[in-house]
Structure formats: structure tokens, C-alpha cells
Structure 1
């Protein structure tokens, strides 16, 4: 590595004896590695071009030690990756070390770590560890900076809506989020930023499983709602997810305002945005768990901003925060795959089933099964392959065929997100002329949607309605015995 040094600003990788570190303190564990803070007595080399053009050391330098439980070759490949990728990287490698059998990468303690890792942290050790893990993952200027945000940072708090497990508010964050200024080459804040506060019911005893699921929000994507951090209401002690604010609201509210201008060109743009976000989630080997129209948000209110500003929210965050019962089924019943209703684990294929129901909503402007109660009988019918109805003129044949593949009862028959994304790219406006003409001719005939009083489109516990369903995929639900 040192033979590749040609310029004063090249990265110098040193072998640093472990005895050179003082005040070693464990911060967190991330996967197979542990992270420590330490003081490097000798300090790193840097080129002093102002005073003599020579290499000197900065003694007693604070550094980050990342222990890797890897084989020697794997370890060297990790080091090489950090030192060869320079576009956008803000985390500098000083060298490598070893403590007993563990290899160590020695990183620069960058400004974002030093200034904000210990800033106004809460008293809950689980939350402290979680926030420090998230902040020590910041390696590049485009990474999501996850913070602990004191509740007194919020002004003008107003309730926006309430779901089964949380209440959402809008607020002004006085200091605002951090972002990396490429011109100044430093982290700065956008003051007085409007944000969404998702206040989690009964979250005083927040569990590690939920905190781990909150990491799903840290995916940096144009199609996924950004998370800024966590806060806590000092009165209720409930925890709060601080999120990017979506001015246009959820898909339900947005479509009611924009139904007439929501033509097939815009429908396909929105569909593309949703499947691209879902594809990114699945590429990271994650599952959304609760995809439905209330978890699809629009940053702006009109169709003119539709292309770049559709967002997926609530990844893995549905459910009771203080309960880790894996047997509980959560969601909006018409969007939940039949195998999940039977008690099987939620998979990426179950997300695709939900996406099929979103396709139905986009094509028709109607919620699936809006005309009936969301109860045991609907759960039974979903498992018996009953699906929402639509007029064949409402959407092209190829659209309907893809939608039906997505909501196939057999998860193995459903396409994956990448396949759907590829298929959507070949759809042209001309392919939707008949459906668009039908849509326009029926705008004046559209009647106010009547929703059954027992149709529920917020996430909730569904177990009371699934007791008659069998876990055995191959059995017909009509043969299932009723469980008392």
C-alpha cells in the first residue's frame, strides 16, 4: 500500500502496534465486528506543506478501531476497499493493527462522529448503542446521518393522523438535519426544517428488535422516506421516529385531490417509483412487511411533482413496539398475502402480493375489498383465491395479467421486484390509450366511494380474524377446522 504513495494527499496505511492505543472503549457491535474509540499516542502522519514540506505526526489523536472477525484475506480486501474508493468517501483509514487474534482497521474519528455521537444522548442504553451504531456507519457524504434529537428541538407540533400503533405529527425542527456541503467540505445544518414525528404508542420499553428494524429506514434512496433520527416525549416517555415530511400526504389523500389529473402516464410513473423502492429494499435482502397505500407518500401535493417525489415509508415498523411476539400478524387485511394470514413468515414474495393490490388501487382509484367487512370471512376468501373485481376496460390486458401474477396464491408464482421493474420499463404511453380514453369518459360518472363501516385501511393485529386458517399451504381454507 505504501509503495502506491505518489502525492502528499495520498492515503498512508501503517501497521500500528496495539500498544500504541490508550483509553480504548467499546462503543458498539455491528454484525461480526466490534467498534471502539481510542487515543493513538503517536498519531497519524500528515504532510506539513506550510512549515517545511515534511511528514510529521499528530500525537494523541482520537481514532475509531473496528475489529473484524474475518480471515486474513477477507480482512485485507476490506481494507483495500476503503482505501481505493475515493468518490464521496469521508472516512479515512490510518492503518491496521491486531489484538490477539482479531484484526483491526484504524479509522479517522471524523467530525460527524466526534461532534454528534455523544450529543444529548438518552438514558436508555439500548437506544444509545443503536444511535452510536448508526452514526459510526456514516462513511460517505450521501449516507443517512441518524441522530438523537431532544424533544425541545421541535416547534409548531400539529397532529396529522393516527394509525393503529402510532400518531403522526408535523413539526419544525429548530436546528434541522445534517447534510454534507461539498463546497465547504463539512457537515452543516438546514435550520427550521419541517419534519414528521411518528410517535409510537406504548414504546416506553422499546425493544432491540424494533430498533434493528428502524435501520431499514437508513437506506439512501430517492424512493424511500428518509429518517433523521429518534426522539422521546418527556411526558409520555414514548419514543418518536423523526422522518422526512411528505407535504402531499399518503396515497389515499393524494388521489382524492388529484383523481382527475391522475392519468395513465402518471399512474405508470408512480408505479415505477414504488417498485424501484421495493426493489432496493429487496436487493438489500430486506422485507417491507406492511406495503399499502397509507405507507406510500407524496412529498408534494400535485401531479406535476410526481416523478421524483413518491416515497415508501414504514419499512418493518408496523406492529406493537413493546411486543416481539412473532406469532402476531399485522397489516391491512386486503394487502396481506394469504400465506401470511395462515401464519407463515413474511417474505419478499408477500411484499409482491401487496404490490399487486397497490396496482389495483392505481388502476381503479378504489381500495381492494372496500365494499365488505375486513373480518374472518374476508380472510377465508383471500385464502380461497377471491380477489377484488375490476372492469377489463379500466386497465390494459398486460397490466391486469401482471397484477394477477403479483397476487397469485402461490408465492412461488409471483414475479420478483427486479422482474416487475424491468417489465414496466417497456410499457409505452400508446399501450394505455384505450384505458386512458375509458378513464376520461367516466370521470363525470364517478360516484363518491362508499367504504364498508368494517373495512379498515390502517395497520392492526389480524390474529382475531385468522383463527380458522390453516398454516398448511396445500390445504383449502374451506376445510380448515374452526379454532375456539
Structure 2
């Protein structure tokens, strides 16, 4: 439903309010000139000006805003949401961004859910490649977190909100634009942060991908307690939190979470390669049987399965767009996805998918339905597989 509100002389028609953050309202809008949907961020610069001398800060914010949007627009990457336009009307500044038809990583990590190794490799690796492309343009994100990592309809990453945390930092204390569960220690200490700070934040995100929660959390959402943990505590190794994490992947994530920036991997493109190498498994020469691949004593991902898993995930998304969750085609697609995940070398991921499927089938069809029993049987089979 069109709201009737327009910007830029009628070029952008605001359609639907998508959400509100500390410094922006996000709308789904339509670009009549380019004939496409866009994401339009209305920046609440008036909120940032509060408590300061208005004239001086207005000039400072306007200069910062112009610099940051130009920096964001320089990024050329298949894994970063493109900036199409910017403008101001009266007191209202706005950014026009690529519309991502998908869901944020938050959606996949809700209620302590973990990701499969294939999803972790694909999405963390693509995030690294997006960060590497941004650093080529001399842009640092400063607020890498699941909510800023979108997964599009093809199952690929698009990083959003480059530069907005820095714009907020320009008007508040250092670190104000960060999200505490994912903020690097140096930013907690008041430093503006570098690309190595983004890699620490990515390490926090990967930790959550694999265990269901960030490395440091507070039961009562006490931000100062979380900050103290980032500064002083060593996170529990992933392999002690979740069975089925490859040793090399555990070591890589822990290295990303090093307290001192110089102790972390130094380049995002190198991290992308290390992520793949940490889980990659090549079958012995002449071996093509999925059963022999699974029989490895170490969890891994056979990269021959990655595209098949991606295609199965896309088919599942398309089916869910047409049918309810209890439709027979949706259920069969979920069975196929879980089995492919196990065959790729990730028995823990397969067991998790089958457990969720069995729980859902119990709700849909009853606790003694054949589909629920089949799912739980398959879960037990993959739990018993070597990991």
C-alpha cells in the first residue's frame, strides 16, 4: 500500500515502513525513474544534533554525511548492498540503497539456532569477500552483526549499512554506533576501529553461527558487563560448546577473536580462503560414494555439495512462498536438504535440521505421525555418525 509520501520531486514513492533504528527509519520505496524497488533510509539527523550547538554540528554532520555516502558509493562488490542515490529535503536526509529481497542473518539465528557448516562457510566467506572489496575502497563498516548481513533470495550475502556507524560516531562517543555483543575490544577502549575491528566482529558472528550465541553475552543485557568480557575474557573454544566443529575452523574463529588487532588475521580476503580451507574435504582419489565421504572422523564440507545445498535451499524458499509449512512438498524438500547436509560431511548439521523437522512434523501431524518418526530416526542416524 502506497503511503502517498514522495521524495525527490516524486521520484521515490514510499510504500511500506520496514523498521526503525537508532538513527534511521527504513522504507520499501519505488524508484519511478529506474522502475525498481529500493530501500530508502530516512536519516534522523535531528536526533544526532540534540545536545550540541546546532549550527556548528549541522555543518559537521552535513560534511560527514556527504563524505560517508561517497565512500559507501565507491564500493563495488556482489556481496555489498549498492548505494544508488542520496538527497535532502528540508531537515530530512535520505539514502537510497539496493532493495534486498530476503531476510537478515538474525532470522536464521533466532532462538539460539545454529547454522550448518555449508551455510557458515558460504555466508561467512561471502561476508569476508564483501569486506575485502570495501577495504579496497578504504571503507570500514564498524558495525558488523547479523542484522547487517542480509541473505537474498538466491541465498547469497549482501552487507548493508556501511558507513552509518561512523556517521553516528562523528556525533557521539567512539563506539556509539556499535552493537556491544559484536564490538571489538579496541572500540570498547574508545578507538575508532579499523578493518581488523570488522574481522573481530565477524569472528563474533561466526561464533554465533556455530554455537547459537555470541561469544560474550549478559543475562540481563548489561552492556558494560559485555564490554568488560570483550576487553578481558577469553571466549570458550567452539569445540567445547558445540560438537561437530572442525578443529581448523575453531582455531580460525578464535584467532579472529584475539584481543589485540595485530594478533588477528590481517586481511579479509585471506580469511575467506581460510574459512573454506578449514572445512574443505576432498575424497580420496577414485572415491565418489557419499557414504565414504561421510565416514571421515572429522566434520567437514565436501565442496561438491555446496551448490547442490544452495539449490535445495532456494527450492525450499520458493516452495514456502507458495505453500504453508505443513505442505507435503515443503516437508519433502526439508528432508532432502537435511540429507544433503549430512552427505556433505556435516552430520551435526544434518541432525539439527532433522530435529527441527521432526519437531515441526509433530506439531503439524501429531507425535506419532510417520513423517515425525522418520525425521527423528534420521536425526539419530546422523548423531551416531563419526564427527
TM-score (norm 2): 0.63
Whole-Å Cα distance in 1 between the matches of residues 356 and 232 of structure 2?
31
193, 200, 204: which one aligns with 1:346: 193
Partner of 2:135 in structure 1?
282
Whole-Å Cα distance in 1 between the matches of residues 173 and 213 of structure 2?
32
2, 6, 10: which one aligns with 1:152: 10
Whole-Å Cα distance in 2 between the matches of residues 322 and 269 of structure 1?
31
The answer to whether the 8 Å contact 2:216/2:230 transfers is: no
Whole-Å Cα distance in 2 between the matches of residues 254 and 441 of structure 1?
17
State the 1:420 CA deviation.
Answer: 0.9
Higher alpha-carbon Rg: 1
The answer to whether the 8 Å contact 1:223/1:311 transfers is: yes
Cα distance change, pair 366–151 in 1 and its aligned pair in 2 (3 A): farther
Cα distance change, pair 384–282 in 1 and its aligned pair in 2 (3 A): same
Partner of 1:107 in structure 2?
none
**Residue 196, structure 1, aligned to residue 49, structure 2:** no
Whole-Å Cα distance in 2 between the matches of residues 343 and 165 of structure 1?
20
Unaligned runs of 5+ in 1: 1-148, 177-190, 449-484
Q: What is the Cα-based RMSD across aligned positions, in Å?
A: 3.0
More helix by share: 2
More strand by share: 1
TM-score (norm 1): 0.51
Partner of 2:150 in structure 1?
297
Between the two structures, name the one with larger relative contact order (CA 8 Å, sep ≥ 6). 2
Cα distance change, pair 363–321 in 1 and its aligned pair in 2 (3 A): closer
State the 1:413 CA deviation.
Answer: 0.5
How many residues align? The count is: 275
- Per-residue Cα deviation, 1:48-73 (whole angstroms, up to 9, x for no partner): xxxxxxxxxxxxxxxxxxxxxxxxxx
State the 1:287 CA deviation.
Answer: 1.6
Whole-Å Cα distance in 1 between the matches of residues 42 and 85 of structure 2?
12
The answer to whether the 8 Å contact 1:209/1:324 transfers is: no
The answer to whether the 8 Å contact 1:289/1:351 transfers is: yes
State the 1:165 CA deviation.
Answer: 1.4
Partner of 1:56 in structure 2?
none
Unaligned runs of 5+ in 2: 1-6, 50-57, 282-292, 294-298, 302-341, 360-387
Q: Which deviates more, 385-394 or 326-335? A: 385-394
261, 274, 292: which one aligns with 1:423: 274
- Per-residue Cα deviation, 1:179-238 (whole angstroms, up to 9, x for no partner): xxxxxxxxxxxx2x111011111258442122211223221111111011013456xx32
Cα distance change, pair 322–276 in 1 and its aligned pair in 2 (3 A): closer
Partner of 1:214 in structure 2?
69
Cα distance change, pair 445–233 in 1 and its aligned pair in 2 (3 A): farther
**Residue 169, structure 1, aligned to residue 24, structure 2:** no
- Per-residue Cα deviation, 1:56-105 (whole angstroms, up to 9, x for no partner): xxxxxxxxxxxxxxxxxxxxxxxxxxxxxxxxxxxxxxxxxxxxxxxxxx
What secondary structure, in the 3-state scheme, does the structure 1 residue paired with 2:16 have? strand
Whole-Å Cα distance in 1 between the matches of residues 169 and 187 of structure 2?
21
Whole-Å Cα distance in 1 between the matches of residues 108 and 88 of structure 2?
30
